[in-house]
Amino acid sequence: MMIAQATETPISTLLQQQRSFFSTGQTKDLNFRLAQLQRLKQAIIDRQDAILQAVKSDLGRPAFEGYFEIGTLGEINLALKQLKSWVKPRRVPTSIEQFPASAWIQPEPLGVVLIIGPWNYPFQLMISPLVGAIAAGNCAILKPSEHAPQTSTVITALIRSTFDPSYVAVVEGDAAVSQALLAEKFDHIFFTGGTAIGKVVMEAAAKHLTPVTLELGGKSPCIVDADINLEQTAKRIAWGKFINAGQTCIAPDYLLVDREIKSPLLNQIKQAVQEFYGENPATSPDYGRIINQRHLSRLTTFLNNGTCILGGQVDETSRYIAPTILDDVSWQDPIMQEEIFGPILPVLTYDSLDEAIVRINERPKPLALYFFSRDSQKQQQILQSTSSGGVCLNDTIMQVGVWGLPFGGVGDSGMGSYHGKASFDTFSHQKSILKRSTWFDLGWRYAPYKPERLNQIKRIVTG
């Protein structure tokens, strides 16, 4: 495939170019898809240093956490390995009244899709859905977040040097550019971001009856039972909450802890934070920064809630907020009314697991739910009595790294899912096909409908 010279093509023209290319049928070819996935993989490998530098510049992220962005290579590898099986038609049995016949489900690409990425993991969450779009045989237009400008620049350079824009293209810009894109007719829109903008995307898509995948967020609870490994639990909570300075859509949003172990758990979390980032996290090379001043100001207002027992320091110049724990928080406090998306951990308590479940179910369904307990019966109680996009037992965040697990929300935390085959399915239409033979016809369905025909249809319908 020839790579065209990158130009700032009008959106409507770019969209028409992609529709024209899709109509050639080239993207449907399995070998073509595999080749493009391999090109994408190699492009990421070749630009690792640039990607790491970009996310460090945008988010102050250390190289270790920067590699989470490059971790999307794992998803590409899975697609390369399994795509041949994913594209195969799936046979479906037919009933006797269809005899002789065969039926199958055949996945086919949707066409031209729009992928709008967020700023918190600006490379991975842009490229990961692209893997699914390519694997399913689509053309794609990408819109990186303008709030992570260095990463947006790297994505643009990578895509434009790897793919012809009539196949995969990037459009950079602010909210006005997103609005212009959303005004166009796409065959699918994949959006990762906040709930408020998700509603805007869905409203725009509805005007064209365009299907959407919305990867949103919410207040993901972290419930802690008394029956735990205290030190291990504290480390896993602290790590999941404070990586990327808390700017992770599935970060534990708040702690809901059994009152009996609240004090020792918080002491262990404090100790874990010190082990991770030292006495002064502001000087740690392993601790990130808030994306911009607007989000810093929003987060700073939350520091007035409850009692700060760890952290609380803010440096506006460097966009720094220390890893912070807030005790004595109530369910009515402002910090409990919206997703925090920052390094502030409010703590609430419960006296019985039933009480904790009631509290969680009173609120919108979260993207993730975490439960720490060695009691298998309590684990089952949580799984059966709550609803969330996903659940992780006795750890945080790590569920997102299992590419075979569909990742997505439910209710206010989103709709649709992706990762692995779920990505392929998201960007595919499952076309149902029935093939009848002409060598024989039972003739049971044709008029005139005599009494014996009526009895026959009754037997077919009622079994």
Positions marked active-site: 215, 249
Question: Which residues 6+ apart lie within 8 Å of 73 measured at CB?
Answer: 41, 44, 45
Query: Are the beta carbons of 444 and 453 closer than 8 angstroms?
Result: yes
How far apart are alpha carbons 135 and 28 in whole angstroms? 9
Beta strands in 380-427 (DSSP E): 390-393, 407-408, 414-415, 417-418
For 287: left if phi > 0, alpha if psi spans -120 to 50, otherwise beta; the answer is: beta
d(CA 363, CA 256): 14
β-strand pairing of 112-116 with 139-143:
parallel
**Residues 167 and 1: beta-carbon distance below 8 Å:** yes
Cα pseudo-dihedral 392, 393, 398, 403, rounded to 10: -60
Contacts of 30 (CB under 8 A, 6+ apart): 83, 84, 87
Residue linked to tokens 């109680």? 381
Q: Are 104 and 422 in contact (CB under 8 A)?
A: no
Main-chain phi, psi angles of 278, to 5 degrees: 80, -175
Neighbour-count burial of 149, counting CB atoms closer than 10 A to its CB (0-12 exposed, 13-18 middle, 19+ buried): middle
Start-to-end CA distance of the chain, whole Å, equals 55
Q: What are the structure tokens assigned to 106, written together?
A: 């055949």
Dihedrals phi, psi of 126, to nearest 5 degrees:
-95, -45
